[in-house]
Amino acid sequence: MKIDKSKPVMLTGATGYVAGWLVKKLLDNGLTVHAAVRDPDNKEKLKYLNKIAEKSSGTIKYFKADLLAKDSYLEAMKGCELVYHTASPFSLSIKDAQKDLIDPALKGTKNVLESVNKTDTVKRVVLTSSVAAIFGDNKDIEDLPNKIITEEHWNTSSSLTHQPYSYSKMLAEKEAWKISKEQTRWDLVVINPSLVIGPGINPHGTSESFNLVKQIGDGTMKAGAPGLIVGGVDVRDLAEAHYNAGFLPEAEGRYITSNKAVTFVSLGKILRKKYGDAYPFPKKEIPKFMIWMLAPLVGFKRKMISRNIGYSWNADNSKSIEKLGVKYRPIEESIIDFFQQMIENDVFKKEK
């Protein structure tokens, strides 16, 4: 599917952490970006995108849209051949899983793709899914024959009450494949990133990525960190993956976009090497039984601890490297650049 670069490209969730670097990449390549945002009048939120637009050869135009407002993306989509659907809430601390995660993810994806069906110009949709759509708990990975996730796998263990964010991503991606297979005009390409790290275009991002990395330096894990192993990927490499998924004619299917498996302690070790003891980085892991005991007190379910802490994490990222041309930068660079941005933006001022 060849995409004409003289046509505008639409993005949902343009204000988001993941979307930011993709917007920059599109603008730097001289494209016109139709940025769909919830509040185009929020000058404070848009100032970071405006800044990158000013320095680029491209053009950004804002459109008001909401995942839950039917047909609200139609205007932004007009004349576009390529649509990126990145918008979806990424938060681990929610009150109502159905309302806060599942509805915007699932109904939002349906809404966006119904508008794609009504917009004759669209030829390709790139969906930002997650490895969370591929597996639910780390134990699921250990139970796989080769203990490694590939694009063939699906999350079968998450639910409304257990890992609801992962559940929302699985439901939304499945719905996207279902809708795409009911027609032939546009194709669907899906990016499945692991935990995204690296500096944000907006240094005060609200994605859960910011919260998790902040906790490595703000003393939350001073006495010890949970022994959770996750995949990590740089936000800039992820933008490259999205860009190529949009414009490479042969791009197809799902792409696990993940660099290396990391833990809070391994990230703390990298940061200590750079910053010494200037910040209370975690040095050791808390024994699993202790976290299991304390879990309800800090808002975690024991089932989540039982099925995740202490299990390995492996993902096959070869398709993203070989077919999408992603060159993963060292994870050290990702975490240091991210942390440095937080320091420069006074994130740790109060804690120090």
Site residues, ligand NAP (CB under 6 A): 13, 15-18, 37-38, 66-68, 86-90, 104, 128, 130, 169, 193, 195-196, 205-207, 209
> In whole angstroms, how close is the CB of 207 to ligand NAP at the nearest point?
3
**Least distance from ligand NAP to the Cβ atom of residue 133, Å:** 9
Instruction: Supply the minimum distance, in Å, between the C-beta of residue 210 and ligand NAP.
Output: 8
For 5, counting Cβ atoms within 10 Å of its Cβ (0-12 exposed, 13-18 middle, 19+ buried), the class is middle
CB of 249 to ligand NAP, least distance (A): 24
Shortest separation between residue 315's beta carbon and ligand NAP, angstroms: 12
Q: Would you say 68 or 294 has its CB closer to ligand NAP?
A: 68
Which residue, 169 or 236, has its beta carbon nearer to ligand NAP?
A: 169
Nearer of residues 123 and 169 to ligand NAP, judged by Cβ = 169
56 vs 202, beta carbon nearer ligand NAP: 202
CA–CA distance, 268 with 274 (Å, rounded to integer)? 10
The residue among 137 and 280 lying less far from ligand NAP, judged by its C-beta, is: 137
Q: How far is the CB of 248 from ligand NAP (least distance, A)?
A: 20
Q: Which residue is nearest to ligand NAP (CB)?
A: 16
CB of 203 to ligand NAP, least distance (A): 12
Q: CB nearer to ligand NAP: give 34 or 280.
A: 34
**Residue number, 37 or 97, with CB nearest to ligand NAP:** 37
Three-state SS string across the chain, please?
CCCCCCCCEEEECCCCHHHHHHHHHHHHCCCEEEEEECCCCCHHHHHHHHHHHHCCCCEEEEEECCCCCCCCCHHHHCCCCEEEECCCCCCCCCCCHHHHHHHHHHHHHHHHHHHHHHCCCCCEEEEECCHHHCCCCHHHHHCCCCCCECCCCCCCCCCCCCCHHHHHHHHHHHHHHHHHHCCCCCEEEEEEECEEECCCCCCCCCCHHHHHHHHHHCCCCCCCECCCCEEEEEHHHHHHHHHHHHHCCCCCEEEEECCEEECHHHHHHHHHHHHCCCCCCCCCECCHHHHHHHHHHHCCCHHHHHHHCCCCCCECCHHHHHCCCCCCCCHHHHHHHHHHHHHHCCCCCCCC
Question: Which of 234/285 has CB closer to ligand NAP?
Answer: 234
Left (φ > 0), alpha (ψ -120 to 50) or beta: where does 148 sit?
beta
